[in-house]
Amino acid sequence: MAKIAIGADDAALELKQVLAERLEEKGWEVEDYSVRPDEEDTDYPDVAVRVAEAVAAGEYDRAVLCCGTGLGMSITANKVPGVRAAQCHDVYSAERARKSNNAQVLTMGQRVIGPEAAKVVLDAWLDSEFAGGGSTKKVEKMEAVDRKYHPEA
Ligand code: RB5
């Protein structure tokens, strides 16, 4: 069974639960990195960096991050070299995030999208693969930016 990471801050635990159940229905083994009540560091960057580092280390091919807007998760995850996180609240963007941008991380906001629409967006992203072709050199250029600022990574 393929493994996928999921994570949410306390502004998105309900959306995270809906998406985790959808992932399990689709046969994914879900590893949950969301904040817990007993934790001290429960802000979106705390969760995003844990998940993004696991993706960058090759522990997961894909991950889903949820916060109030999806923005903080996306901005933070994209600071980890090698990670391409895309905030998507519509099906077209979710498809393109995979086909054009090879985004391994999908982010969504509980305050932005309802649970049913979020499941449809998740499905579109899960069911799409990187198209390669003309998009390959563009993704390579993004990777070159990572190397420029993080030559050690
Ligand atoms: C709450 O901290 C909220 O700001 C957060 O979940 C997210 O929307 C940030 O981008």
pLDDT at 1: 78
Considering only CA atoms, which residue is closest to atom 9 of ligand 1? 72
pLDDT at 40: 86
Could you give the residue numbers annotated as active site?
Answer: 67
Domain ranges of the chain: 3-149
**Rounded Cα gap, residues 40 and 32, in angstroms:** 17
Tell the CATH topology of 3-149. Answer: Ribose 5-phosphate Isomerase B; Chain: A, (3.40.1400)
**Cβ atoms of residues 33 and 66 within 8 Å:** no
Site to probe by mutation for ligand 1, drawn from 44, 71, 76 as the one with most ligand atoms within 8 Å of Cβ, is 44
Name the band, by pLDDT with cuts 50, 70 and 90, for residue 42. confident
Is residue 67 predicted with pLDDT exceeding 90?
A: yes
